[in-house]
Structure 1
Amino acid sequence: MANSRQVSFFADILHSAIDGHPTLATVSPSTQMEAMDQAPMAVSLPNSEQVYMKNALGETYLVQISWPLSWPNGRFFEGSAPIIYIVDGNALFLTATEAAWRRAAESRFVGGVVVAIGYPLSGKVYDSKRRSLDLTPPTVTQIPGFGGADSFLDFIEGIVKPHVQARFPQISIAREALYGHSYGGLLALHTLFTRTRLFDCYIASSPSVWWNDHCILETGKTFLQQDKRPDTNLPSLMVFWGALEQYPHQWGDESLDQFESRQHVASIFRTTENSIHICEMLRGSPHLNAVLMNEFEGEEHTSVMACSMTRGLTEFFENWPFRG
């Protein structure tokens, strides 16, 4: 609990801000010094929570959830709201949460629920081994360490989704989206093609279409050849990527050998060409409501994540149903 001097300090800041003056400059030197002497505290995130969950094999996942700042407590909100599920949650939970909060502060829409699925990590944001297994689709010839996407989707459908629904019992779920980047984008496409009704919207950021000799394209062709769904609630797809992924620039401190090595890898992944190809293949399909694609100029494979998250979340939360 704050003491009287702390209260006085923050009151000084408040009054100086209201008066339109620089805040700390109007506070007495002694009060400033006392404030700087306070012990640092860990940053806390309001309107959020996290829980550890196990899948059928007993493997542990970190599931982080956030909801709009306008909801004083998620349990007491009543109404309709969208939910976005995000893989690689350790790397993207804060990105998505802050994007949603910023939009709600300026937009006509109040936001929705963010659910990020990651791993119990410390000191890093990726578990390369586990994500390689969880986010890649099964193959005819098993590839060790890969191909566990269906088991991961079973976990999302059977354990994560019911938990979220129980956590917000008074919410009417308006729609649900799945966002994934890189291997996660590959997972989004695989889910669209094989479990179409699991989500209403699929957001594939820099999808790894190249993986396993472009096998996802064959899965997509099978999806297109199936009988038309009788219902009208068709899913939508968004595909995003950075212009520098396939056509990189040389960094200022990068040697020519390093740059040429990156160029070679980029020419194998062909992110721009593959992303456009998947969209052109799916556009006009009677199995989809809309296909939206966008290339972000000046962005590479990791920097584009923030762009695709903000654009995808905004379209899904605010501009639904969107038109491709």
Structure 2
Amino acid sequence: MKGSAVRHEREGACFVTAGLLIAVCFFSNGALAAPASYVLDNTEVRDIRAQALKRDYQVYVALPDSYRQGNNRYPVLFVVDANYAFAIVRNIAQRLNRHAGMEEVVVVGLSYANGDGGVYSRRRDYTPTTPRKHDYRSDMPGRQPAFGEAKAYGQFVSGEVFPFIAQHYRVNMQRKVFIGHSYGSLLGLQFLLTEPRTFEHYILGSPSLWYDAGIMFEREQAYAASHKDLPASVFFGIGGLEKLAPGKKRSRSEEEADMLADVREFDGKWKSHKYPGLKTRLRVFEDEDHASVFPFVLTHGLRAYLTSAK
């Protein structure tokens, strides 16, 4: 077969037509084999046990182009909701390095718990409290919805994931970045209002500040009453379309939340305290909504922290 290569497998044969870059594989019984999965280059999947939580998770790790070529230690980005966000963060970080001269990074994606639905896992692990009023239903038949384990999950991240990553990869653990969106940003705020030095930079997109009737506003007020400083670097990003529809009255509920007004109010409260160690910036992306804004938040949040050669 001219212009083609043939690879014989134990199960059958694969015919790779070089000119068309199409591979067709047949089992010995003549049935079509399942196509191979697409794999991101220089990525790894690691299993990790959350001992106190008694749950299993995976971490997804993306290594930079130069990782195998020297002994450099790299800034490390920790992104939650990794089942969705890991590939986005990895690809945008690489593109900013290759085409905009931004420094290379290691990306660590934090998966949902093994065996749990994504909604179930994130609702439990990223939220600070069980809502005082709610009518949420579980996405997992036979299991009641779970909430309010952000503190315990945060301790798993800092106490177990951090040492694991530091042991197995050449990362600079003095340059850690947290990346979250929506409920994921609630987890970031949990860190900020309890142990702000857990990360050196926080990228928080579209935080769900309406959650539990605005519990994070209460937490912010309590923090301010007992602290003179908040040593942190924070980039808030949100879509300009994440606002209350005309004719509705704003409240601290999911149905009547004005997320844009909420994040402006929250950021304003932080700035009003004049914490000497707090660097905070808010960027509104006017034509974006809750579903579309994350790549913009990520790009500008990285630029607010990572250095560029250009």
TM-score range, shorter chain: 0.7 to 0.9
Match of 2:155 in 1: 154
Taking the TM superposition and a 5 Å limit, the aligned residue runs for 1:98-137 are 98-119=91-112, 127-137=118-128
- Count of residue pairs the alignment pairs up: 273
What residue number does 2:9 align with? none
- Distance between the aligned counterparts of 1:132 and 1:140, measured in 2? 11
CA distance in 2, matches of 1:31, 1:209: 53
Matched with 1:206 is 206
Query: 2:219 — aligned with what?
Result: 219
For 1:317, give the aligned amino acid: L
The answer on whether the counterparts of 1:244 and 1:299 sit within 8 Å (CA) in structure 2 is yes
Q: Which amino acid aligns with 1:240?
A: G
Q: Conserved in 2, the CA contact under 8 Å of 1:201 and 1:237?
A: yes
Tell me if the contact between 2:210 and 2:254 (Cα under 8 Å) persists in the aligned partners: no
Question: Residues 162, 5 of structure 1: CA spacing in aligned structure 2 closer, same or farther, 3 A cutoff?
Answer: farther
Aligned to 1:46: 41
The structure-2 alpha-carbon separation of the partners of 1:314 and 1:6, relative to structure 1 and needing over 3 Å to count, comes to: farther
Unmatched tracts of structure 2, length 5 or more: 6-16, 26-34, 135-144
Q: Deviations over 1:19-57 (max 9, x none)?
A: xxxxxxxxxxx8526x43554532221221111222123
Q: Deviations over 1:225-268 (max 9, x none)?
A: 33435xxx93111111111121569xxxxxxxxxx9xxxx8761
Seen in structure 2, the aligned counterparts of structure 1 residues 48 and 141 have a Cα distance that, compared at 3 Å, is same
Matches within 5 A, 1:126-205: 127-138=118-129, 145-168=146-169, 170-205=170-205
Q: Where does the alignment leave 5 or more consecutive residues of structure 1 unmatched?
A: 8-29, 250-259, 320-324
Contact map agreement 2:113 2:121 (CA 8 A) in 1:
no
The answer to whether the 8 Å contact 1:81/1:174 transfers is: no
Q: In structure 2, how many angstroms separate the alpha carbons of the residues matched to 1:214 and 1:223?
A: 15
TM-score, normalised by the number of residues in structure 2: 0.77
Q: CA RMSD in A?
A: 3.2
Residue identity matched to 1:271: M
Alpha-carbon contact 1:138-1:150 (below 8 Å) kept: no
Q: CA deviation at 1:306?
A: 1.7
Tell me: CA distance 1:119–1:171, structure 2 relative to 1, closer, same or farther (3 Å): closer
| Whole-angstrom distance in 1 between the partners of 2:18 and 2:81 | 43
**Aligned amino acid, residue 97 of structure 1:** R
Q: CA offsets, 1:111-157, max 9 Å, x none? A: 211111112679x9x61111111111136969862111011001101
Residues 241 and 286, structure 2, Cα contact 8 Å, conserved in 1: yes
Summarize the Cα distance change of 1:52–1:246 in structure 2 as closer, same or farther, 3 Å threshold.
same
**Which is helix-richer, 1 or 2?**
1
Q: Which amino acid aligns with 1:212?
A: D
Mapped partners of 1:121, 1:54: distance in 2: 10
Q: Distance in 2 between matches of 1:117 and 1:37?
A: 33
Counterpart of 2:19 in structure 1 is: 32
Q: How does 1:1-324 map to 2 (within 5 A)?
A: 32=19, 35-39=21-25, 40-55=35-50, 56-72=52-68, 77-119=70-112, 127-138=118-129, 145-168=146-169, 170-228=170-228, 234-246=231-243, 268-283=256-271, 285-286=274-275, 288-318=277-307
Matched-pair contact (CA < 8 Å) for 1:50–1:64: yes
Q: Distance in 2 between matches of 1:6 and 1:152?
A: 52
Query: How does the TM-score come out when normalised to structure 1?
Result: 0.74
Relative to 1, partners in 2 of residues 1:36 and 1:312: Cα closer, same or farther, differing over 3 Å? Answer: same
Q: Secondary structure at the match of 1:245?
A: coil
Q: Check 1:235–1:31 CA distance in 2 against 1; reply closer, same or farther (3 A cut).
A: closer
Amino acid at match of 1:102: R
8 Å CA contact 1:80, 1:174 repeated in 2:
no
Question: Are the aligned partners of 1:224 and 1:287 in contact in 2 as well (CA < 8 Å)?
Answer: no
